[in-house]
Structure formats: structure tokens, C-alpha cells
Structure 1
Amino acid sequence: MQDRTSEWFVPKIGPRNFRIGVGMLFLPYTMIVTCFAIWGSLGGVFVLDRLVAIGVIYFLAVGVSAHCLDAVGGKTKPWGDLPKRKIVSIAISSLVVVFTIGFYYAFLDSPLLIPIGIAEGFFLFAYNLELFGGKFHNNLSTIISWGVLPVFAGSAIQSNSISIETILLSIISASITYLLITTSRKYKHLKREGGNIDKIKNKERILKLITLTVIVVTISFFIVKI
């Protein structure tokens, strides 16, 4: 499937390059992972600037850097042939911002962010560039990097610790991530093979429901905690 501009998360109007640019962010999935990081921050006593910081970190790391690298570094080219140097430059620039924010809080009082950041950095490159023969381009890597580590990072930036509440939240987020990626893979397979329209629409509705539910739960969680 070379042209993904017909995907439900891609704007239906605007110049093609704009639509591809927004589509590359995979905003529903990016928002879900960002929400998981916020869950980690909300799991205990939180400071707003740190909650915002971890949200920005994961939005840029996943939404921009990871998806840019995936667009030019993976075996498939879901958005067609893109200017590799430009896309990689955007990915690296975003990572510079990510690690600048992360190291600031890590050296301030949250050193637990360092091993989490190293692990996330490894998965970001190993998964999206399909390094090591693509051994880490699998569901388990996605569950760890999208579903578990973001929650840990959200907690670490607030308290430099991983609590029982954090672990419980990460189990929930990991389960949601598993449902998300398995549904997404089936959805992509159906679209690629020109499958039954009703089945495609059903998978699409599930993906939309997961996205909306996670966002609503996150907003509600935040309101309850303030």
C-alpha cells in the first residue's frame, strides 16, 4: 500500500504534501502514546510543567522522529518516495529537542529518565529503521516502547520512581497497545488486499473508538487529579 492518503487520520482537503505531512504523524497513535505518558505523570502527585514536558517529549519522539524514520527507513514506503535528507533532518531535530528536555529533568532530579530514554532511543531506531535484520520490528517491541515505557517515563519525571500504581497503569496501557496494533495490522492487511469494505470499516471504527476512549479517559483523569 504505497498511497496512504486515503487513511481515516489523513486530512481530506489541502495540498498533497500537507496531507502527507499530517498523515505521517499518525496523530491518533501519537496521541495515544502521549496520553500513556501523561497517565504515568498523573499516577501520583504531579507538577504541571513536568506533565507538559513529558507530553511534548513523546509527541515529538513518536509523532515526529519515529514516524519520519519509519517513512524513509523501513522496508515499505507507505508515503511514497520522500526527500530522505529532509525527513531525517526533521527526525534528528525533533530528537535534539526531546533529549534536551529529557536530560534537563534527568540531571535536575529525575535520573531514572536516563535508562528509560536509552531504552526508548534503542527501540526508536531499531524498530523504525528495522536494524538487526528487523528482529525488533514486532509487536513486543511496540508494546514495550509505546505501552509500558511511556507510563514509566511519566512517573519518573514527576517522582523519579516506579510505583505500584505506575505498574498497574502500564499493564492497562500495554493491553490497549496490543489491541491497537493487532487491529491496525488487520486493518492494513484488509486495505492492502482490497478486502471486504464492511470489515475495513469495522476495524476503522475500533481504531477510532480506542483513540477517542484513551483521550477522554486522559482528560477525565487530569480533571480528577487537579
Structure 2
Amino acid sequence: MPEALAPAYYTAVGRGWRRDVWALLHPPYTAWHLSYVVIGASLAPKLSTFRLGATLVAFFLAVGIAAHALDELNGRPLRTSIPSWVLKAAGAIGLAGAVAIGLAGLPLLGWSLLPFIALGVLFVYAYNLELLGGRMHGDFWFALSWGAFPLLTAYFAQTGSISLGAVAAAASAFALSFGQRALSTPARNLRRKTRSVSGVITLNDGSTARLEEATILKPLETALRAFSWGVVAIAIALLSSRLL
């Protein structure tokens, strides 16, 4: 496999602060998981755009900035040149900002919001830093913390309660996120950990095709692209139906 292969399909090979910041934000995946926030809020009987905006900012700070900064700090998977102290500061400030927004919501939602805040902090640290021996850095925990949790939190932020419909939608977000990781894990391994790929596929008619990294990566990353923007489109559709 060529050494110049980028560590992710949405970032470029090479260096530079613009490239590093773009890679660190993981735009398609961040948009994907923020869409669960929009979906959860849009399911509420009464939609508050103020609460939705606050929830989106909180999850962007926690997921888009803090979680991704800590993930890059843990082994440099994106090969950025961002100083470690900057990543640590981004992780701390991003998570502190998310927690502050959550605490500001206590007068509106009461103490029942605290478990959501605590779980959010736990998920960011335990998943991205692979604490507890990496036990929370797997498919199940990813789907729970990046899929079901944002949707349920957004619904709760609107209503102060959890409905059966919200739980069903969270199960859908869990399933989609579980599938996302099933696709992204082998794609990441190919881009970041594989030196070479070789082999031949022999079809029933006797024809053959060479097995190369592009052969394996293309269906994985085509699906990831489609699913990421598909979920964003669903979120936009639901929100538009509530506001327009």
C-alpha cells in the first residue's frame, strides 16, 4: 500500500494547520452525530430552537472538539502536527464548555439532567482515551455514546422526559452507529495500519481480479459517505417539517 495514503478519506496527505484542523474535526462524522441531536429534538412534542441550539453547541464541543482532540492525543491516528498541549487544552476546554452548558440547563430541566452530563463526560474520556483497559472502546460503546446518547439527550433537553418513541429512535441511531463502526474500523486499519495488500479474487466463471487496497476501501467508504450525508438529510427534513 502506498505510504502516502491519507489517514481518512476526508482529509489530505501532508502537513499544515488547515489540513490538521480539518482532519481533527472529522467533518462528515461530526455532522452525522450532531444530526442525532437534531433528530432527537425534532421528535419532541414542542420544539424549542434555543434548547436545540444549546444542545448542538454542547455536543459539538464535547464530540467535535474534545473527543476528537483526545483521540488524536492517544497515538496520533490522523498524523497531525498539532502540539500535544494544544490537543490537551482543546479537550479540556471543549468538555468544560459542554458541561457548563449542561449545568446552565439545570434550572430548566432539574437535577434529572445531571446523569446525562455525567455520562457525557464518562463517554468522552473512557472511549477516546481507552480507559478501563479499552473496555469502553468497542462497537457497542461507540454506538451507545455516539448514536443513542446524543438523540436521547436532545429529546430530554426539550421535554425533561424520555418517551417510547425517543427510545425507538435512539435504537435506530444505535444501529446506524454500530454499522458505521463496522465499516470504518476496517477502512481505518487499511489506511493507517496496513503496509500492503495482495491477493486475487477468482469468480465462478473463472475470471480473476486483483485484490488491492482500493478494491476494499471503495465500498466501505462509499457507504460511509452515503450514510453520513443521508443521516444529515433526515435531520434537516425533520427539523424543516417542524419549523417551516
The equivalences for 1:30-41 within 5 A come to: 30-41=30-41
**In proportion to residue count, which structure has more helix?**
1
State how far apart, in whole Å, the 2-side matches of 1:3 and 1:54 are.
38
Residue type of the alignment partner of 1:139: D
CA contact 1:36–1:147 (8 Å) conserved in 2: yes
Bigger drift between 16-25 and 103-112 goes to 103-112
Q: Is the 8 A contact 1:5 1:20 kept in 2?
A: no
Distance 1:11 1:88, change over 3 A: same
Identical-residue share of aligned pairs (%)? 24
Q: Distance in 2 between matches of 1:60 and 1:39?
A: 18
The two structures have a TM-score, normalised by structure 2, of 0.84
Alignment of 1:61 onto 2:62:
yes
C-alpha displacement at 1:70, in angstroms?
A: 0.9
- Number of paired residues? 223
Do the aligned partners of 1:5 and 1:19 also contact (CA within 8 Å) in 2?
A: no
* Aligned residue in 2 for 1:223: 240
Matched letter for residue 17 of structure 2: N
Task: Note if contact 2:39-2:235 (Cα within 8 Å) is conserved in structure 1.
Answer: yes
Q: Give the number of the structure whose alpha-carbon radius of gyration is greater.
A: 2
Deviation at 1:209, TM superposition (A): 0.3
For residues 6 and 12 of structure 2, the distance between their equivalents in structure 1, rounded to whole angstroms, comes to 8
**Does residue 105 of structure 1 match 2:108?**
no
Match of 2:152 in 1: 152
Give, in angstroms, the shift of residue 117 of structure 1.
1.4
Q: Helix, strand or coil for the counterpart of 1:161?
A: coil
Secondary structure of the residue aligned to 1:112 is helix
Q: Which amino acid aligns with 1:174?
A: F
2:120 aligned partner: 120
1:19 paired with 2:19, answer yes
Structure 1 CA distance, aligned partners of 2:230 and 2:179? 13
Aligned-residue offset at 1:190: 2.7
Tell me, yes or no, if the aligned pair for 1:33 and 1:147 is still in contact at 8 Å: yes
CA offsets per residue over residues 147-170 of structure 1, 9 Å max, x none? 111111101111111111100110
Output one character per residue of 1:105-158: Cα deviation in whole Å (capped at 9) or x when no partner.
123225332101111211110111111221211111111111111111101111
Equivalent residue in structure 2 for 1:205, among 216, 222, 231: 222
* Structure 2 unpaired stretches of 5+: 198-211
* Equivalent residue runs for 1:64-79 within 5 Å: 64-72=65-73, 74=74, 76-79=75-78
* Alpha-carbon offset, residue 91 of structure 1: 1.4
Measured against aligned partners, the alpha-carbon deviations of 1:28-80 in whole angstroms (never above 9, x if no partner) come to 111111111111111112100111111111111111000101111x2x32133
1:28 and 1:113 mapped to 2: Cα distance? 28
Question: How far apart are 1:12 and its partner, in Å?
Answer: 7.4
> In 2, are the aligned partners of 1:110 and 1:157 still within 8 Å (CA)?
no
